[in-house]
Chain A
Amino acid sequence: MSNFLKLFNFEWNRFIKLYIILFGLVFIVQMIGLSYLIYDYKAMINLEIGKNHMSTEQFVDMYGMFGIDHLSISILFIAPIGISVAALLFYVPFIWYRDWFARNTFIYRLFMLPTSRMNLLFAKLATIIVGVLSIVAYQLILLVLYKGIISWTIPTAFRNDVSVLEMVMESSYLSIVLPGGVMEFLVAYGLGTMFVIIIFTAILMERSFRWLGAFLGALYIPAMAITFYAPLIIIELFYTSFPLYANELFYVFLVMWIIITVGSLLLSRYLLNRKVTV
């Protein structure tokens, strides 16, 4: 096994505890949310149809049909996704800083491994990316499960069999986490990867030059954001009409993405090999 894969495996095993907690949290809280919604809807059916003698059509007109899309507006469904996103964002700096500041200074060992230090960076990056993709895949599996539970508990006459894909597409925040097409997926996760690499570079600046590095790192992040959007800013400032077609604009952003990502990786390599200190 290559040293990168060994390091990735090692980082992943360190991540797994947090991951299991997140998996458990998402499932338990969303199940509570779904159970509550189903219970509430069925209680309403019993009240309106059983006691108030409302017809099925009248009930559906008044309360709507129950589908998986009901879930996407429940706080008990959204909150665990938000917590997972926050935990993963927290993990981006944590994955580096714990090696310096945990009870033992593991960074000594990592830097003394007979392998390229860039393998450390790529292993940490891969851990974050695979972590995000795994939690997204897990959420998709859970949505299929929830759909099954709805089919099992809600009678057909009251059920809106919205597919998981439709639910995702209709939800503004879910469509960000779970993009509909391959291109949208590549754009969303490509931008996410670039963001993580920029943060890693800023952390390595801080670890190399301490306070000055922290200042430079704090400047680096917005500087890279401005650089990425520079083509749009230039167009906005100097053109009266928009001079690019959508596909041309996409290629412009692709070039900016390559410049920033490769540039940040090269800067990180320089810092890791020449400037960073234990």
Chain B
Amino acid sequence: MIEVKEVEKKYGKKSVLSGMSFTAHKGEVTCLIGVNGSGKTTILNAIMGLTPFKKGDILIDGKRLHKEMYEKIAYIPDTMTMISSLKISEAFEFMNDFYTVWNQEKAQSLLTFFNLTTDMKISELSKGNKAKVNLVLGLALDVDYVLMDEPFSGIDIFSREEIANVFTSHLIENRGVIVTTHEIQDIEHLIDKAILINDGIVVKEFNAEEVREEQGMSIVDVMREVYRS
């Protein structure tokens, strides 16, 4: 379980996280939803130890993040994390060199699924294909938790469909997934827990299926209700 406890973070005088708390469980897809600047990316960066925070605590299976944890938790940010001059095969080699949990077979099958080949150079890929490679680099790690920041950001409808299909495949089964997205409709049916964030705090946390079944409301409907109020 990933536990975020009362995390506070400021950029200068501006408070970005104002005591944010939530939990994300293994085997569940948790979606962080919020408008731009609400603190979604910052909290993912904080969980991964990529940005320091002032107060609070973040625990992964009861422990604070340390270097070995990067074999347990993967992060797919909305920016390409590999050097553009490399070929995809070289990027895979890099991952294989450093991560014992790198699954070359899975990486290859995902790449094939996305109609990409290992001889392609990252710098020559379109934005959509770069996002797919980024996704492969994260999902081919056999980890317990995967964090994804805006996996559909700036990507065309066809690529979005392909990425959403990956979500429905076995690749995220039994993993704890935290995803942030604006394109909620693409993965709404996959979300177990939705967390609405505003101004660096959690304003509502709910089970998406329960709300759907009991109140007949979609996540977007709940969002509208919360943000209008």
Contacts and interface: CB of A to CB of B under 8 A. Distances in A.
A88 B166 CA distance: 45
Interface stretch (B80-88, B103-111, B183-191, B212-220): B80-88
B52 A104 contact: no
Interface in B53-100: 67-71, 74-75, 77, 79-84, 94, 97-100
B48 interface: yes
Given A103-B123, A108-B77, A278-B45, A114 B82 contact: no
A65 B22 CA distance: 83
Secondary structure dominating the interface of A: loop
A105 B41 CA distance: 15
Contacts of B69: 114
Interface in A228-278: 274-278
A104 B70 contact: no
Contacts of A102: 83-84
A109 B82 contact: yes
A274 B68 CA distance: 16
Nearest to B138: A112
B19 interface: no
Contacts of A10: 94
B51 to A, nearest CB: 4
A106 B83 contact: yes
Contact-size category for A: 20 to 34
A114 B83 contact: no
A44 B81 CA distance: 61
B156 to A, nearest CB: 20
Interface string A113-129: 11111000000000000
A226 to B, nearest CB: 30
B68 A104 contact: no
B29 interface: no
Contact of B122 (A14, A104, A276): A104
Interface residues of B, number: 28
Contact of A106 (B48, B49, B82, B123): B82
Interface string B123-154: 10000000000000100000000000000000
Contacts of A108: 50, 75, 77, 79, 81
A104 B80 contact: yes
Contacts of A153: none
B67 A277 contact: no
A171 interface: no
Contacts of A220: none
Q: Give the most central of A3, A108, A116: most B CB within 10 Å.
A: A108
A249 B177 CA distance: 61
B52 A277 contact: yes
Contacts of A103: 80, 84, 123
A274 B74 CA distance: 20
B67 A114 contact: yes
A112 B51 contact: no
Contacts of B122: 104
A185 interface: no
A112 B52 contact: no
Contacts of B51: 277-278
Contact of A114 (B45, B84, B98, B137): B98
13 contacts: A6-B97, A10-B94, A104-B80, A104-B122, A105-B81, A106-B81, A106-B83, A111-B49, A114-B71, A114-B99, A275-B52, A277-B50, A277-B51
What are the 9 A-B residue pairs with the smallest beta carbon separation, nearest first?
A104-B80, A109-B81, A114-B70, A108-B81, A277-B51, A278-B50, A105-B79, A103-B84, A114-B71
Given A102-B84, A276-B52, A277-B52, 17 more contacts: A103-B80, A103-B84, A104-B83, A105-B77, A105-B81, A108-B50, A108-B77, A108-B81, A109-B94, A112-B48, A112-B50, A112-B70, A113-B99, A114-B68, A114-B99, A116-B67, A275-B52
Interface of A: 3, 6, 10, 14, 102-106, 108-109, 111-117, 274-278
